Amino acid sequence: MDTSLLQLSNICLSYGNQLVVNNLSFSLKKGEIGCLLGPSGCGKTTVLRCIAGFEPISAGEILVNDVKVNHSGFSLRPEKRNIGMVFQDYALFPHLTVASNIEFGLHRLTHAERMHRMNEMLQTVGLTDVANSYPHELSGGQQQRVALARALAPRPDLLLLDEPFSNLDVNLRERLSLEIREILKSQGTTAILVTHDQNEAFAIADEIGVMYQGKILQWDTAYNLYHRPTSRFVANFVGQGVFLTGKVLDPCHVEIELGILIADISHQCTADCLVCSEGCYVDVLVRPDDIVHDDASSLQAKVEHKAFRGAEILYTLRLPGGGTALSLVPSHHNHAVGENIGIKLEVDHVVAFSQSTL
């Protein structure tokens, strides 16, 4: 039995001859938080608009609570879908107070019910003390929480968040990402977020779909997207890393200039293992956390660049064989550009792609 609250099956959307959403499918269970992550222009916001009912699909179907809201020749009106939305610019009513903004969508309730729900949401988002303030009197983070409270107040079946942190500074984004996840989970709300920022996606979502050219290339947990990417694009887009040339010794061993890597065969030798024949050459993904600083190591690399990040330093290293790699090192190991440092390889997940793949 399918317990999905939201289900998209092979949806397509075109603008003229341009296919913007290409045979896209995914589902979310009740209470799950999903995310569409990808670069600008990949179609992620268009998918959100299709779910909301603002864009008609040309093929496939969308179900919310087992009800078809989109399919060939039919589109349920947005106001009939019981879907809430938090827009990029918050779209608050400037002439209404915080309390009135939250109360706005509760017109079907009695006055007492509206007051109860509005006060409940003020407490949930921590804005009780600014209930009588107007949007222009609030910080960006406060305005964002008002928009969230207003969207949640009518108890929607599904909440859509379209780049909700794009107008906020980096530190505030990180804090609010965690706060919003806690709020959504406390309310049992099913939600889907659209963003190009992987840190936001990792902080909020249970599952993430990496999009490119209208398709979802991989729908997975943040952990698997980082450690077990199934395509070169996902490997490049999620996290940092470099590709080093490797020679396949057997189906689960590959040799790079830093040593021999052993794939994790405890996972049935699937995504982590190499499928080309013995002796072929592949590109092996090496993340900054795969190369560990070790003063006692005989393997040396030259510091070509350093980026101080507070608790850590990201070093760009020139390897003995001429290749480059990244290494994330605690910042008390402060080495100068041009200095040789000891390194060792600690790779838990071998990710390799044929040199002919994109």
Q: At what angle do helices 170-187 and 140-152 cross, to 10 degrees?
A: 20
Q: 25 is written with which tokens? A: 């499918």
Q: Which residues pair with 13 in a beta bridge?
A: 21
Q: With beta carbons less than 8 A apart as the criterion, state whether 343 and 352 touch.
A: no
Q: 111 is written with which tokens? A: 């006055």
- CA–CA gap between residue 47 and residue 71 (Å, rounded): 14
Query: What pLDDT is attached to residue 248?
Result: 87
| DSSP H helix total and E strand total for the chain | 8, 21
Candidates 161, 151, 136; CA nearest to 104 is 151
Q: With beta carbons less than 8 A apart as the criterion, state whether 346 and 292 touch.
A: yes
Distances (CA, A) of 156 to 106, 123, 166, 196: 12, 18, 23, 25
pTM (2 d.p.): 0.89
Q: 282 is written with which tokens? A: 């592949």
The side-by-side arrangement of strands in the sheet containing 67-71 is 18-29, 4-15, 59-64, 67-71, 74-75
| Location of structure tokens 């999905």 | 4
Distance of CA 238 to the CA centre of its chain: 9
Segments in 69-169 forming alpha helices (H):
98-103, 111-124, 140-152
Residue type, 343: I
Spell out the domains of the chain, with CATH numbers in brackets. 4-232 (3.40.50.300), 240-354 (2.40.50.140)
Alpha-carbon torsion 109, 113, 115, 121, what sign?
negative
Q: With beta carbons less than 8 A apart as the criterion, state whether 2 and 63 touch.
A: no
pLDDT digits (tens, 9 = 90+) for 167-207: 788 778 888 899 999 999 999 999 999 999 999 999 999 99
Distances (CA, A) of 69 to 19, 82, 237, 313: 21, 11, 32, 49
> 3-class SS at 130?
helix
Please calculate the CA angle 348-36-353 and round it to the nearest 5 degrees: 35
Distances (CA, A) of 128 to 13, 93, 146, 243: 42, 18, 11, 51
pLDDT in tens, the chain (358 residues): 458 999 999 999 998 889 999 999 999 999 999 999 999 999 999 999 999 999 999 999 999 999 999 987 889 999 999 999 998 888 899 999 999 999 998 988 999 999 999 999 999 999 999 999 999 999 989 999 999 999 999 999 999 999 988 878 877 888 889 999 999 999 999 999 999 999 999 999 999 999 999 999 999 999 999 998 999 999 999 999 999 998 888 877 889 988 888 875 334 344 445 556 778 888 999 999 999 999 999 999 999 999 999 999 999 999 988 889 999 999 999 999 999 999 999 988 888 888 765 5
